[in-house]
């Protein structure tokens, strides 16, 4: 059974590429593709109308009052460009689907994109490594075909030969391969201790490569400034974490009392 996708402004696209993103470690993929589709002013095409696909963890409280439940939003956006280069079709998902429905969602989204002529799928993800948060984020890649890796090598030389890309940002490429679509994923490095913190530096690194691959000229200065702010926020986070650990150690020592050796 196909997923219900509500079309709000149908259009014809020229050789479109699909760029799809969901939340993940460091929000690398989502931050990158949301930034890109907003800068390009991509237009609304459709949205996914499947409340049971997503989990609503609770409700928001404001001024003592329960607010109306807001379901996660997932939808397609398109950007047309002049000339012979292909258009871009974005899919932005606010939330990963509930367990057990990932494959059905991925298959339906690709079938929908295929109706507009999509034959190549692009995703992004985070790659936790031992770098610190002041170091540049390097970009790695994986693809559905060896020939595609060769095509992309002038833009990205680091290939993820073994490993896993978790969540929908990875699964979508696997399903695309089953459907005889090709695709690739760019992975931006993040420090292993910041997986739960948004990492605009990694998103910016991914977009720098995409700028070249897709022949775009998107200004990334805003992300660069945000990266510097995030570095300071991580400094504060690590300092608070260290202070908390020291306080807990002191509290434990006070409770245990002195150790007497006979």
pLDDT tens for the chain, 262 residues long, are: 678 899 999 899 999 999 999 999 999 999 999 999 999 999 999 999 777 787 776 778 889 888 877 777 799 999 999 878 899 999 999 899 888 999 999 999 999 999 999 999 999 999 999 999 989 999 999 999 999 999 999 999 999 999 999 999 999 999 999 999 999 999 999 999 988 889 999 999 999 999 999 999 999 999 999 999 999 888 888 888 778 877 777 776 666 555 544 4
Residue 45 φ/ψ, nearest 5 degrees: -115, -50
Spatial neighbors of 81 by CB under 8 A, at least 6 apart, are: 87, 88
Q: What is the rounded (10 degree) CA torsion for 120, 73, 44, 49?
A: 90
- Beta strands per DSSP E along the chain: 5-7, 17-21, 43-48, 61-62, 65-66, 74-79, 88-93, 120-129, 139-143, 158-159, 182-191
**The predicted structure's pLDDT at residue 54:** 77
State the pLDDT at residue 1.
Answer: 60
5 neighbors 112 (Cβ within 8 angstroms): yes
pLDDT at 256: 59
> What structural domains does the chain harbor?
5-54+70-244 (3.40.50.10900)
Contact, 201 vs 230, CB < 8 A? yes
Eight-state DSSP code of residue 258: P
Spatial distance between the Cα atoms of 99 and 86, rounded to a whole number of angstroms: 34
3-state secondary structure (DSSP) of residue 70: coil
Q: Name the DSSP class of 87.
A: P
Residue 13: how many other CB atoms lie within 10 Å: 19
What dihedral angle (degrees, nearest 10) is formed by the CA atoms of 192, 172, 76, 39? 40
- Find tokens 């910016």 and name the residue: 204
Do 169 and 123 touch, CB atoms closer than 8 A? yes
Q: Distance from CA of residue 113 to its chain's centroid?
A: 19
Token pair belonging to 2: 């196909």
């Amino acid at each position: 059974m196909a997923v219900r996708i509500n079309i709000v402004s149908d259009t014809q696209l020229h050789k479109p590429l699909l760029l799809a993103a969901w939340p993940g470690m460091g929000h690398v993929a989502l931050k990158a593709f949301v930034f890109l589709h907003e800068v390009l002013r991509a237009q609304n095409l459709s949205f996914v109308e499947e409340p049971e696909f997503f989990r609503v963890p609770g409700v928001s409280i404001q001024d003592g009052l329960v607010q109306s439940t807001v379901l996660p939003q997932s939808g397609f956006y398109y950007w047309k460009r002049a000339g012979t280069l292909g258009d871009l079709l974005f899919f932005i998902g606010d939330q990963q689907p509930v367990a057990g429905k990932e494959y059905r969602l991925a298959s339906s989204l690709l079938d929908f994109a295929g109706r507009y002529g999509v034959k190549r799928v692009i995703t992004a993800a985070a790659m936790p490594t031992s770098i610190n948060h002041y170091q540049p984020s390097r970009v790695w890649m994986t693809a559905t075909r060896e020939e595609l890796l060769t095509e992309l090598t002038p833009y990205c030389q680091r290939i993820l030969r073994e490993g896993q890309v978790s969540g929908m940002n990875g699964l979508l490429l696997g399903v695309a391969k089953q459907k005889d679509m090709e695709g690739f994923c760019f992975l931006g490095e993040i420090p292993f201790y910041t997986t739960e913190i948004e990492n605009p530096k990694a998103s910016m690194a991914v977009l720098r490569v995409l700028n070249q691959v897709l022949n775009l000229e998107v200004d990334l200065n805003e992300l660069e400034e945000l990266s510097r702010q995030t570095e300071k926020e991580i400094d504060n986070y690590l300092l608070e974490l260290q202070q908390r650990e020291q306080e807990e150690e002191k509290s434990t020592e006070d409770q245990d009392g002195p150790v007497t050796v006979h």
